[in-house]
Homo-oligomer: A and B are copies of this chain.
């Protein structure tokens, strides 16, 4: 299905421009769901998905770098850098960047994760060229000036403090530490007060130079967009910045890794004077590419994915022990996590943990009922289809697919994979994952006697 794109071949060869390769990766229906990719000389990938029924577009750039790529003393550098990219380029001040998108009512933001970073803007389709110019300039031309690094250090220290003040969020960082320890995947994305205070402008600049090469980037646009136009505008913006790279460079392959996760029976408690105890009980999950992930999604949905899920019913509906209780999965290149969160009165933490552990054990032993599986399949399918109306969700799907898998799956194929999950698949993944010995992370004001009993939940 590879073909040269019309916009490239139409140019006179005397320009001497290297040729971009455009492929239609997925053929949609009625103009919806068509995914195209162009790889520019230099290795920059541009993927788009067209949704002509909307008036908006979301434009994003994904970078193949996350806190996992940090040495201990660089911890927090990826996220620090993400902030600094909003501080200005040689042609735009920080105010120019934010004004441009604010003035058209758009929404611009960025997020840093353990394995990637993403910058995006959602705007009216007519403002897409503005969004492309602004985001491309931020990515390719950041100045990272000393004074910006100094001012932004305060902002990041405040962000760390704000997260510390949100124990329901913070307990997930603690859980990563419990499961992965002081390793690149186990350390917090935000870094720590000490590492942030020690990071210099020079080190961040080197980090930027190393990781923001065009071969490490994926540009993704979704909504009322035209592929060739997006390609032309992105190419022009990168060319202008001299950031297209070496013509014969090729994109980096999806991230690989060899982390094997076997943590079991660990307990970590962070003593805080909070009203609730915030707990995560969990175990090793699945890597992002693991074929069993569809069955695990069904399992996690039925166990703690909604108001009708087992944990919600057992912990909240029947016993009123928590307001918030849910399960989650996170998948990395080579390993993953599965866990259950609950927030409850410190005095009730053992009751809640016992119910959660019992349900994990029951599902590990017996799997789910057919009713539960049918409902979870319906829930996942319906929410997948509902997600089709949000250009931000589509941009995330195609950008992340390109970066993390190097391939794309149509929504129809996704629905098929979900519908094809059998009770046996669920039983098998439940036995493998939920059957392993859990670990436990707790934030809250537990008395010594209560703290001593936490081991019961992981024995």
Contacts and interface: CB of A to CB of B under 8 A. Distances in A.
A313 B98 CA distance: 10
Interface in A235-281: 273-276, 278
Contacts of A312: 98
Nearest to A150: B320
Contacts of A384: 105
Contacts of A379: 102-105
Contact of A273 (B53, B150, B273): B273
A337 interface: no
Contacts of A186: none
Given A53-B53, A375-B99, A323 B386 contact: no
A390 B107 CA distance: 15
| Copies held by the complex | 2
A385 B316 CA distance: 39
Given A165-B167, A165-B276, A55 B103 contact: no
Contact of A106 (B123, B322, B345, B382): B382
B94 A158 contact: no
A344 interface: yes
A164 B386 contact: no
A155 B316 contact: yes
Interface in A344-378: 344-345, 374-375, 378
Contacts of A165: 166-168, 274-276, 278, 343
Size category of the binding interface on chain A: 35 or more
A324 B162 contact: yes
Interface in A43-72: 53-56
Interface in A153-197: 153-159, 161-162, 164-168
A152 to B, nearest CB: 6
A217 interface: no
A320 B128 CA distance: 30
A340 to B, nearest CB: 16
Contacts of A374: 103
Interface in A262-321: 273-276, 278, 305-309, 312-313, 316-321
A389 B389 contact: yes
A151 interface: yes
Contacts of A56: 386, 389
A317 B151 contact: yes
A153 B103 contact: no
A378 B124 CA distance: 12
A329 interface: no
Given A122-B386, A161-B275, A384-B105, A320 B151 contact: yes
Given A101-B307, A158-B344, A166-B166, 16 more contacts: A53-B54, A98-B306, A102-B305, A102-B378, A103-B308, A105-B381, A106-B386, A127-B382, A151-B317, A158-B320, A158-B322, A158-B324, A159-B323, A161-B345, A162-B324, A165-B166
List the 3 closest A-B pairs by CB distance, nearest first: A105-B382, A154-B320, A98-B307
